Structure 1
Amino acid sequence: MILVSISLVSISLFIYQVILNRIYSALFWYHYTFLITSFAIFGLGIGGIIAYNQRQKSEDLKTNSLVKALFLLSISYIFSLGIIYVLPFQNNVLIYLILATLPFIIGGYFFSTVFEQFGKISNKLYFADLIGSGFGSIIVLLSLNNLGVYRTVILICIISVIAWLILSAQFKKKMLLSIGVLAVFLLGLFIPNKYVYSIEQNFIGFITNKTKTLGSIAKSNQKAKIVYTKWNAFSRTDVIKVEGDNDEMIVTIDGTANAPMYRFDGKKSSLNKYKDDIEYLPFSFGNNHKTLIIGPGGGRDILYALAGNGKQITGVEINTSSIDAVRHFKEFNGDIYNRPEVKIYGEDGRNFVRKSKEKYDVIFLALVMTNASQNIGYALSENYLFTVEALEDYMNHLTDNGKLAFLAHDEEDMSKLIATILRQLNKKGIAIKDTPKYMAIFAKEVQLMDGNEHIHYPLIIVKNKPFSQLESKKLKETADRGKIIPLYIPYVNDKGPLYHIKQGHLTLVQFENGFSFSATPATDDKPYFYDFSKGVSPVLVFIFFFILLGSMILFTPIISQEKAFKPSLYFSSLGIGYMLIEIPLIQKFILYLGHPVLAFNYVLAGLLIGSGIGAYFSNAKVFNNLSNRIYLPALLVMVINIGLIFSLNSIFKVTSDFSLVSKILIAAILVMIQGFFMGMPFPRGIKILSENKKKSKTIPVMWGLNGVMSVIGSVLSIMLSMEFGFTIAMLAGALLYGLISLQNRNLVTAK
């Protein structure tokens, strides 16, 4: 029964981590969310240290402490998340860090104590732990998408109370309290939907945060209210109505990625007012019969396509809640997503293009990610929409004289997009000096500040064929009519860096290196388009060294006292190595499965379940021959990982036309094979420690150290991926496992 309790606790703790990340993504910018959740997981190590300090207490007290830990864990979920939810927004990140860390400390204490007490069956314990996490990654997707955030919080409380109930029964403790708490949480599941909706909508910290859209509107002395809210595994989506503005509402994702939703009466005659906008330019010339809009959000870009006489308009929106929001307000927006000319799909735009057999006259991506002030938050987030390979996919799906257009935020976006387009055109065999003939660039506004020009909302149009003089002339006339600033148009506005490229004065490398920020194009192996820093991200460096310093302060005195340097090196290497492989592996499956949520949940589930099964069989003699110099499972991890690095792209290509279910199964099988051997070294190390009386008491410390080092591994993985690509990060993980395999005899055992 202890194994069932472990699995349930692991499920609840995994779901808590995802909920925490989801709530903090709505509350903070992405980099702060990553910062807080990384530090919060550090609580696992603190829990291990607390368990170590109780090592000298009686066995009976240990069983009592396990039962009490599960009681506290059940309460801590609702306590921490409840306070985070009702607390007005605080500028002090430490408050949110402490609240987030509490369940991790209790969970770390529980797991490290269990592994110390039952170390001789560590293979079964680790099996239960990882199987729980694997199923947790699937349950959280289903729960958030179908139950919402409130009921998912109640669900993890129920799961942890059931674990508490089972453990109480096994250790013959009083069960009345646990039954009572379970009954209370079960009642919480059946609160009427209207109250649940009110709870989910009125996230006090979110509403009072002045850096988010709603708060920014309030700061400008305008009144606004949220008229629609929906949580899912991908985002919190809101519709905001500003008092006095009857023609527009704002669809927001996590409170910041804003997409306007315009009032529309359904009549095409009402679209003429949009023909002076910069977004209309791609539709102002040539054939616009067949259009693909990637990221239509609130439906504005559909209106521009209709204004350009689009007959077959396809919209692909990754956030299905945005589609639901637009359809909810169909009377306001003219039911734009259900017009006969329009088809809407809820999936990733890049994946949609890759599997499509269609050719389009226009492919348009307008402010797909967010507004300019958000870019810093997305620097740490991968984006496959703007890579060199993405442009190749888009241009391969254009008609002979088709147009690909991007509406960017500012000069940084624009410059990086131009560099990416130049590289892709050159890849097609077009000489660099001829590439400007295929491009036209405009700006909504250019402001002079501090003696420098600041470009706002630039639009880039690139064609499969060079612009004709007639097309350039028509674009110039449309831009002049709408007071849009032309930055470069072949023949009629030949100036700027593209003019110098055309004249041979500037090479592609010189163009990319000619900015104060990084304009190097993103690739599918390094898809961090919004990373404009030259060098490693300061945020990641800070997290890496802060956690490293914290772990040294926390663990070094005990390691030194117990003379456990070799075990600490072993478990640290496992924590780092596992994440160096796990994170890039998940990233590589995003394009294949078509959505980051699918890749995270199903690939991670396969990896964890595979690791759990491997843990169960880790005691088999074939894997534990100490007479050999090589530890076979770690060596096989390295070999399989290198094999996946060089074979995944071929596998993806051969199976690209398979159904989504088939792709999920293929992904799960591939990562389960890898995970099977990745799950063996940890329980092996715990078992060896448990057989050594002097070292067995360090098991809680080693468990906590492994958890903390996995956070460092996560940060290191992202640092390597951003600087060198996913392939290098995975190779680093393979190398680390290779080094572990060489220490079969003496790395764990220390007499």
Structure 2
Amino acid sequence: MITRKAFRKDVIITFFIAFTLIVYEVFLSRFFATIMDYNYVFLVVSLATLGIGIGGYFAYSQITKHRLLRNHHILGWYAVSIAAVVFTMYIITFVGIFFYAGVALIPFFLGGLVLAEFMQKHRDHIGLMYFSDLVGGGSGAVSSIFLMDSLNPLQTIGLISLIGFAVFFVCNVTMWNLRLKLFWGTTLVILIINFINPFYGFFPFKAFQTSPHNVFLDEKDARVIFTRWNAFSRTDVFDADDDDLLYITIDGGAVSPISKFNGELTQVDYLRNTTSYLAFQGRMKNRALIIGGGGGQEVLLAKMTGYKTIEAVDINEGSFLAVGAVSQFSNNVFKLPGVKPIVSDGRNYIRETNYKYDLIYLSLVKKNTENGFGLSLMENYIFTQEAIAEYMNKLEVGGSLGFLVHDEVELYKVVYAAKKYFKKQGVPEEDINKYLAVIGTYQHLGHVVTGLNGSVITRPLLIIGKRPFDYPEAVSLLASARQIQQIPIHIPYVNDRFMQINIMMKTVKVNLEANSDDMPFFYNKMVGISPKLIMLLAAVLLVALFMGRASKVSIGTFTYFSAIAIGFMMIEVTLMQKLVLPLGHPTLSFVLVLGVLLVSGGMGSYFSKYWFRPESNRYIPILFIGLLVLVINAALDWYNAQSLQMDVNQRVIVTALVLVPLGFFMGMPFPYGMSRVREKHVAASWGVNGILTVAGSLLATILSFTWGFSTAMNAGAAIYILLYIIQPKLNI
């Protein structure tokens, strides 16, 4: 007989396990982004979260053998494992993705083990238990960003490990003998010390220093002189013993130089020899917008070419802080007269601003992470076909739009988007070439870079005019390019090679259409879907099938819990991506979607029993979910196509109001299913559901890369609608 006090204790423990697990998961995506290529972040976090499902299956196997899980001890080891696992990954040299996935899985396994046993133990109150689980997870999602920004990612891990252990200690200390009190009491003291004065501070971040994805790995003399690590990125400033330059890196990559500057523009006169300088030779020079402030070199270019007002936008506040931190070297160029630094997503800012510009310039805007979140798909909305149209609409009549990109593939994607824009404006295809100019980079700051990384066209500069180039402008641009020893690829009238660019665009083996708001995968240069994703999806499905067969759950039970797991994750993950554009920041989108869906889902879980009708085998909330998703998906597509102006608070409120009813109903199918399955299959059903959430996020990725976000969301809705139609039997 379970007492009310024991039940309340398990509810509280469930809340804190869910809370700490979500914070840990968000941390992992941020941690792995600093040491791995961004394409692998999603893969490794997905492998690690398999531990929740495996823990559920292990709990089932122990229960069927009539072995009681000693939850109070497992909870303690769970809390300790979070700090121990992260510390281990921090201090050892870079190993590889499977090592990190395997080690990071340990807390998920232990947490999933306890949660599954609780669900089994309190099956009669499954709605309240799941309510605690979802509200804890939602609270963790919201808190994770705040904690990592206020402390830093590693100190956040020390805090949640301490919180989890404190809950364990308080709930169980009265049951221990003296020896256990001394052992666990000493552990508590160690965790408190670790939070106050983190142990990692006494050791170098070896995994970061030895990662092959750290651009300064081979620069033995390079030293870090500034670090800012928050929920969005790790920003470092490296001194590589170059007299005139320091280097900002974002998560070890995406290098932006900081020029030595004492306030006299003649000191940085060498910037006139860069390809970017050509973009600033505009017809008018009143106002410039630089998207991707970086180390501030473009601000200096705008200053030396005579622009009166310069707005520098960067989504990463760390870049501005880095330049400010080395102000004795940089003279903090973002604080110069006429310069305004703005922390914002460039695309969102261009929607909100009422100004028009003579130049909008984007220089090598790239962040080699997965937006800081392991389940994110979105790369960048600032290069899409719709973005080009919005930039062009914010240009003065004689203004220009400039892009400095990494290679020819990126060039073709932007040219393709520009061509679509001009065609919509009624410009005949044979005249589009007069609006565009392309210059390739031969050398940069004295170093020959042509052919870098096997590129046919290295670091090309694309200039798009609001009106066509005239002949004198073309002649001047050609002369300027040759004077600074850069490579004219296409300049109207005087070096017209636009036909060759069109031919090359047709032969390149990349989906040029994957550069729209529905498929914003600008930096994805793969043909088709990564085999790693397919292999991981197959592995997850095989593990789930094995678990279902080994635990002897019915086909109906397996189908039901598989469907709600896959459908939930497909909708949740895709919503995170689609809402980045209207909300203006990936962090805000992540927090709002995960927080609102989980908390409102917890409320739905609590009230789920009131929607059950014994005379019907169909559970109506499942149908409501599918229909709501279809409506929300269509509404988001409509909103993104409009030019509605709402401040960020209004957008957050409207988004939350839209998500609350969806989350409310999405929280109902799981506790309903748990209340219907055989008691001995509760833990196994939890395990199947936990493992197949990974399959859902993988399917969302595959469908989004292939057909777009809208298709992925509609597919998630279709899963719920089909589940309502077939409504498999659960109690057999």
Task: Give yes or no for TM over 0.5.
Answer: yes
Alpha-carbon RMSD across the aligned residues, in angstroms, is 2.5
How far apart, in 1, do the equivalents of 2:641 and 2:99 lie? 47
1:588 deviates by 1.4
Q: State whether residues 376 and 576 of structure 2, in contact with CA within 8 Å, keep that contact through their aligned partners in structure 1.
A: no
Deviations 1:235-255 (A, max 9, x none): 111111013x12111100100
Aligned position for 2:675: 687
1:233 deviates by 0.3
1:512 deviates by 4.8
How far apart, in 2, do the equivalents of 1:93 and 1:535 lie? 22
Change (3 A) 1:557 1:639: closer
1:380 deviates by 5.2
Aligned position for 2:73: 68
Q: State whether residues 232 and 316 of structure 2, in contact with CA within 8 Å, keep that contact through their aligned partners in structure 1.
A: yes
1:748 deviates by 1.5
**Other structure's SS at 2:262 match:** coil
Asked if residue 671 in structure 1 is aligned to residue 659 in structure 2, the reply is: yes
1:604 deviates by 1.3
Aligned position for 1:720: 703
1:747 deviates by 2.6
How far apart, in 2, do the equivalents of 1:513 and 1:121 lie? 61
Q: State whether residues 126 and 683 of structure 1, in contact with CA within 8 Å, keep that contact through their aligned partners in structure 2.
A: yes
Asked if residue 182 in structure 1 is aligned to residue 188 in structure 2, the reply is: yes
- Pick one of 35, 58, 78 that aligns with 2:83: 78
How far apart, in 2, do the equivalents of 1:283 and 1:113 lie? 64
Task: Spell out the pairing of 1:197-216 with structure 2 (5 A cutoff).
Answer: 202-216=204-218
Deviations 1:58-104 (A, max 9, x none): 58x33xx11111111011101110100001112x4322122111111
Q: State whether residues 259 and 268 of structure 2, in contact with CA within 8 Å, keep that contact through their aligned partners in structure 1.
A: no
**Other structure's SS at 1:217 match:** coil
Q: State whether residues 631 and 743 of structure 1, in contact with CA within 8 Å, keep that contact through their aligned partners in structure 2.
A: no
How far apart, in 2, do the equivalents of 1:213 and 1:282 lie? 27
1:267 deviates by 1.1
Change (3 A) 1:687 1:604: same
Aligned position for 1:526: 519
Give, as a single letter, the amino acid of the residue that structure 1 aligns with 2:158.
I
Change (3 A) 1:238 1:724: same
Q: State whether residues 142 and 592 of structure 2, in contact with CA within 8 Å, keep that contact through their aligned partners in structure 1.
A: yes
Aligned position for 1:50: 58
Give, as a single letter, the amino acid of the residue that structure 1 aligns with 2:102.
I
Task: Spell out the pairing of 1:231-630 with structure 2 (5 A cutoff).
Answer: 231-243=229-241, 245-369=242-366, 381-445=378-442, 454-497=456-499, 512-553=505-546, 555-559=547-551, 562-620=552-610, 623-628=611-616, 630=618
How far apart, in 2, do the equivalents of 1:489 and 1:3 lie? 68
- Pick one of 224, 227, 232 that aligns with 2:225: 227
Give, as a single letter, the amino acid of the residue that structure 2 aligns with 1:211.
H
How far apart, in 2, do the equivalents of 1:403 and 1:604 lie? 39
1:425 deviates by 1.4
Q: State whether residues 35 and 213 of structure 2, in contact with CA within 8 Å, keep that contact through their aligned partners in structure 1.
A: no
- Pick one of 9, 14, 17 that aligns with 2:22: 14
Change (3 A) 1:596 1:421: same
Q: State whether residues 37 and 368 of structure 2, in contact with CA within 8 Å, keep that contact through their aligned partners in structure 1.
A: no
Change (3 A) 1:624 1:169: farther
Q: Greater shift after overlay, 661-670 or 673-682? A: 661-670
Q: State whether residues 512 and 518 of structure 1, in contact with CA within 8 Å, keep that contact through their aligned partners in structure 2.
A: no
Q: State whether residues 265 and 300 of structure 2, in contact with CA within 8 Å, keep that contact through their aligned partners in structure 1.
A: no
Give, as a single letter, the amino acid of the residue that structure 1 aligns with 2:162.
I
**Other structure's SS at 1:584 match:** helix
The TM-score, its normalising length taken from structure 1, stands at 0.90
Give, as a single letter, the amino acid of the residue that structure 1 aligns with 2:672.
R
Change (3 A) 1:66 1:597: same
Change (3 A) 1:563 1:586: closer
Give, as a single letter, the amino acid of the residue that structure 2 aligns with 1:293.
I
**Other structure's SS at 2:219 match:** helix
Change (3 A) 1:410 1:351: same
Paired positions, count: 713
Deviations 1:164-193 (A, max 9, x none): 13542798997665554334323333228x
Asked if residue 700 in structure 1 is aligned to residue 705 in structure 2, the reply is: no
The TM-score, its normalising length taken from structure 2, stands at 0.93
Q: State whether residues 433 and 498 of structure 2, in contact with CA within 8 Å, keep that contact through their aligned partners in structure 1.
A: no
Give, as a single letter, the amino acid of the residue that structure 2 aligns with 1:437.
K
How far apart, in 1, do the equivalents of 2:160 and 2:624 lie? 36
Aligned position for 2:107: 103
How far apart, in 1, do the equivalents of 2:161 and 2:305 lie? 53
What are structure 2's unaligned runs of at least 5 residues?
Answer: 1-8, 444-448
Q: State whether residues 295 and 318 of structure 1, in contact with CA within 8 Å, keep that contact through their aligned partners in structure 2.
A: yes
Asked if residue 731 in structure 1 is aligned to residue 696 in structure 2, the reply is: no
1:310 deviates by 1.2
Give, as a single letter, the amino acid of the residue that structure 1 aligns with 2:589.
A
**Other structure's SS at 2:115 match:** helix
Q: State whether residues 376 and 577 of structure 2, in contact with CA within 8 Å, keep that contact through their aligned partners in structure 1.
A: no
What are structure 1's unaligned runs of at least 5 residues?
Answer: 690-694
Give, as a single letter, the amino acid of the residue that structure 2 aligns with 1:237.
T
Deviations 1:620-642 (A, max 9, x none): 1xx11142353210010011111
Deviations 1:680-703 (A, max 9, x none): 0001111112xxxxx312211111
How far apart, in 2, do the equivalents of 1:566 and 1:166 lie? 41
**Other structure's SS at 2:494 match:** coil
Q: State whether residues 379 and 528 of structure 1, in contact with CA within 8 Å, keep that contact through their aligned partners in structure 2.
A: no
Q: Greater shift after overlay, 429-438 or 251-260? A: 429-438
Q: State whether residues 38 and 368 of structure 2, in contact with CA within 8 Å, keep that contact through their aligned partners in structure 1.
A: no
Change (3 A) 1:206 1:570: same
How far apart, in 2, do the equivalents of 1:140 and 1:29 lie? 23
